[in-house]
A and B are shown apart, each in its own frame.
Chain A
Amino acid sequence: MEERMAEFRYALPRTIPVFVGYLFLGAAYGILMSVNGFGIGWTFAASVFVFAGSLQYLGVTMLATAVNPLVAFVMSLMLNARHLFYGISMLGKYGQVKKRKAYLIFGLTDETFSVVCHEQIPPRLDQDLVYFWITLLDQCYWILGSVLGAIVGSLLTFDTTGLDFALTALFAVIFVEQWKQKEGHKPAVIGLLASAVCLLIWGADAFIIPAMVLIFGILAFDYKKEEKKMESEEQI
């Protein structure tokens, strides 16, 4: 048993920053769920089975407005497309994992990725077990935060009108954060314009799928153009 604890003791301090972040973001999520009429059960289930922060936030709106599950599915794919690249970056490290590999991949959130991607675990420790503890601890923090939020939310008595704006605020902050990277300007503007145009044409209830198709189409077109440019440059 003493042997096994070594991995846990190694993992725990490395997850503390995630603990702080998840406690607050999770609590805000739980409160939002609660004021939209979804109790602890729904919050708990989403944090256990979906375990994807920004998607769960968006899920509050999707649940409250009863979107078509197909829309929810496509939204999940698009919002979480970034995970593909965490996965690709982790192919080397997680490729060799033998025990509980499926759980490690299931729980590869932005925050867990940020902890494990640069981790150089000392060879005396069981690598698989360290990764497992980091992933499990992070998910426990997320569940804890969101359930606490759900409890707090059910006790709130002040006027919560406008609290839903936290979701808009979250996405706006991520947008500003991404804007710091210059190569993101073009796709960000494409996304903004394509969505706005589709919103004007199809209206609030139906614009999301056309917008996704349009964004994908413009990006694919742009890729083809870049590819041709690269080819012609290579020929010169």
Chain B
Amino acid sequence: MTPATFQQKILIVIAMMIGTMITRFLPFLLFPAGKETPKFVNYLGKTLPFATMALLVVYCLKNVSMIHAPHGLPELLAILLIVILHRWKSNSLLSIGAGTVFYMVLVQVIFK
């Protein structure tokens, strides 16, 4: 992994800014008040957020090796805790906080 140069980092931040602004401004540019939104756009709006979140979970876990020890066990256990905790308490900050601390303990103390 090569560390980013200053220029690269600036470009990444600008790319994030432009991408975000497009998603926020596009509706106001494309659909002036009163104009109907195309069905396909509505459909994407209903489905894309779900698919994207799944993609991002996989993206975060992309460097976890199933073959080499600890075989993705810390990630699996921490995600399990998060899912159970979140279904039980529905408190985002609690789920994220407890899941992260649990994972840190796992990788620092148990699966060294």
Same complex: yes
CB distance A176 to B87 under 8 Å? yes
70-112 of chain B: CB within 8 A of chain A: 74-75, 78-79, 82-83, 86-87, 92-93, 95-96, 99-100, 103-104, 106-108
Residue of B nearest to A107 (CB): B24
Q: Can you give 26 contacting A-B residue pairs, CB < 8 Å? A: A50-B17, A56-B16, A63-B12, A66-B4, A66-B12, A72-B11, A72-B15, A73-B18, A75-B19, A76-B15, A81-B23, A81-B48, A81-B49, A85-B45, A88-B27, A162-B107, A165-B100, A165-B104, A175-B54, A176-B83, A194-B51, A212-B55, A215-B52, A219-B43, A219-B47, A223-B43
Instruction: Say yes or no for A133: interface residue by CB 8 A criterion.
Output: no
CB distance A173 to B95 under 8 Å? yes
List of A residues within 8 angstroms of B11 by Cβ: 69, 72
Taking A81-B49, A91-B28, A176-B87 as contacts, is the C-beta distance between A59 and B16 under 8 angstroms?
Answer: yes
CB distance A169 to B95 under 8 Å? yes
Number of A residues with CB within 8 Å of any CB on chain B: 95
Chain B CB count within 10 A is highest, among A61, A90, A168, for: A168
* Interchain CA distance A64-B3 in the complex, whole Å: 7
CB distance B57 to A178 under 8 Å? no
* Interchain CA distance A66-B13 in the complex, whole Å: 11
Q: What total count of A-B pairs have CB within 8 Å?
A: 259
Residue of A nearest to B63 (CB): A204
Per-position 1/0 for B6-48, Cβ under 8 A of A: 0011011111111111111111100111000101110111111
Taking A45-B13, A50-B20, A105-B28 as contacts, is the C-beta distance between A196 and B58 under 8 angstroms?
Answer: yes
From residue B11, how far is it (CB to closest CB) to chain A in Å?
4
Interface residues on B, range: 35 or more
From residue B29, how far is it (CB to closest CB) to chain A in Å?
9
Of the candidates B3, B40, B83, B104, which one forms a contact with A223 in the assembled complex, judged by CB atoms under 8 Å apart?
Answer: B40
DSSP majority for the B interface?
A: helix
* Interchain CA distance A126-B83 in the complex, whole Å: 44
CB distance A190 to B51 under 8 Å? yes
Instruction: Say yes or no for A12: interface residue by CB 8 A criterion.
Output: no
Of the candidates A75, A86, A173, A178, which one forms a contact with B96 in the assembled complex, judged by CB atoms under 8 Å apart?
Answer: A173
List of A residues within 8 angstroms of B63 by Cβ: 204
Stretch in A114-122, A149-157, A180-188 with 4+ CB within 8 Å of B: A180-188
* Interchain CA distance A188-B50 in the complex, whole Å: 5
Residues of chain A whose beta carbon lies under 8 Å from any beta carbon of chain B: 21, 24-25, 28, 42, 45-46, 49-52, 55-56, 58-59, 61-67, 69-70, 72-88, 90-92, 94-96, 105-106, 108, 159-163, 165-178, 183-192, 194-196, 199, 204, 207-208, 211-212, 215, 219-220, 222-223, 226-227
CB distance B16 to A161 under 8 Å? no
CB distance A161 to B27 under 8 Å? no
* Interchain CA distance A25-B58 in the complex, whole Å: 22
List of B residues within 8 angstroms of A59 by Cβ: 12-13, 16
Instruction: Say yes or no for B60: interface residue by CB 8 A criterion.
Output: yes
* Interchain CA distance A35-B48 in the complex, whole Å: 32
* Interchain CA distance A56-B37 in the complex, whole Å: 29
Chain B CB count within 10 A is highest, among A173, A199, A222, for: A173
